Amino acid sequence: MLLFIPSSPPPAFRLYPAGPAAIIAPAMKYLPLTASVFLALAALCAKARAEEVQFQSGQWAAATAPATGTAGGELAEIRQLLREGHPKRAVKLSDQFVEKHPEDAGAEEAMFLGGQAEMDRELYFQAYERFEKQISKFPAGDLLRRATAREADVARAFLAGKKRLVWGFLWLPARAEGVSIMERVITRVSGTELAAQCLTELGDYYFNRKNWSEAALAYDRFTEMFGGQYDTSRSEYMAALSHFRSFRGIAYEDTPLLEARQRFKAFVSRYPNGARTDASLGFLTRIEDLLAEKGHAVGVFYTRISQPRPAAFYYKLVVRIYPDTPWAQKSLDDEAKLKLPPPKEGVTPIEQTPGVEVVP
């Protein structure tokens, strides 16, 4: 079987707990996608479950096993423990390695593997603390991005409802910690694909928990940070929807509706043929209906307290501003039922009722 090998072979690499994918990803970068290549990779992955591989003499081959008792041998043992499902023992050996070889080049990997082992045990906060120690000790290390990605995984676990172990026996909710960790990851890798993904997930987390204001802020941050880098149509739409959802009803202030209306109009203008344009138009219709209903409700209130002039004013306002809503006809009918006294000479009807606040 013939394999096409690049002139500059990739460096040898170690297997991490990610499994065979850790081999396929680098190999696919250099080998053409042919049936023979897929067969070769499948065989390689099966072999890789029990040993490490590296690129030597123009081909992938099993790496020479490090000598027992050396730093390399100890790292290999930690990896093997993780592959075989013994994370508790891997944590212990990881700590021993760092204590014994604090300045060794493999100390960063040992710390990373210790954090991964804690994740395998579902001790997520302990894993996060280990990754933080690794990043603090090796702020520009080769495994920085991997450790940061694992921290994002810890945050996701907490936001999904996983609990943290406290004092060795007490399991407590950790959603607040999940938010904090996610924010830390976003700041640390600002501008990257991971930051974009985390910010989107954070906005969705707030939205699903009906924390509308925080959701809108997260979506707006995504639009501001990645406006020239990624498609921001979803974040713009979700921010508008968050403002709409925050409207509590016609008995409350309509500021969220007005903000949502402005945002949906901007969205439709910017994406006239977008996937969410029809939904945005539907929300705009719903917003107009709610604002009309609120104006009519004000008129009903003044009618109920025997103030016909301000009642008539709001009924007319609904007819003038929202003529295409069902509330326009309802306002006309209710206005016709009013018994209005003749207006005072030289005074507009609305001025005859002190204290009436006109809300356009």
Residue 255 to residue 262: CA distance in whole angstroms = 11
* Segment (H or E) for 171: strand 170-173
Tally of CA atoms within 13 A in the half-sphere of 226 that contains its CB:
25
Residues in the chain with pLDDT < 70? Answer: 1-69, 342-360
Cβ(92)–Cβ(127) under 8 Å?
no
Nearest to 166 by CA among 131, 135, 124, 133: 124
State the pLDDT at residue 340: 74
State the pLDDT at residue 344: 64
Decide if 67-189 and 247-360 have a common fold: yes
Q: What is the CATH number of domain 67-189?
A: 1.25.40.10
CATH of 247-360, one of 3.40.50.920, 1.20.140.10, 3.40.710.10, 1.25.40.10: 1.25.40.10
State the pLDDT at residue 343: 64
What are the residue boundaries of the structural domains of the chain, listed by start?
Answer: 1-64, 67-189, 247-360
State the pLDDT at residue 139: 94
Cβ(308)–Cβ(338) under 8 Å?
yes
Tally of CA atoms within 13 A in the half-sphere of 60 that contains its CB:
27
Question: Taking the model in full, what pTM does it have?
Answer: 0.76
Residue with tokens 């603390």: 129
State the pLDDT at residue 61: 47
Residue 84 to residue 258: CA distance in whole angstroms = 58
> Residues of 85-101 as b/e, b for ≥16 C-beta within 10 angstroms?
ebbeebbebbeebbeeb
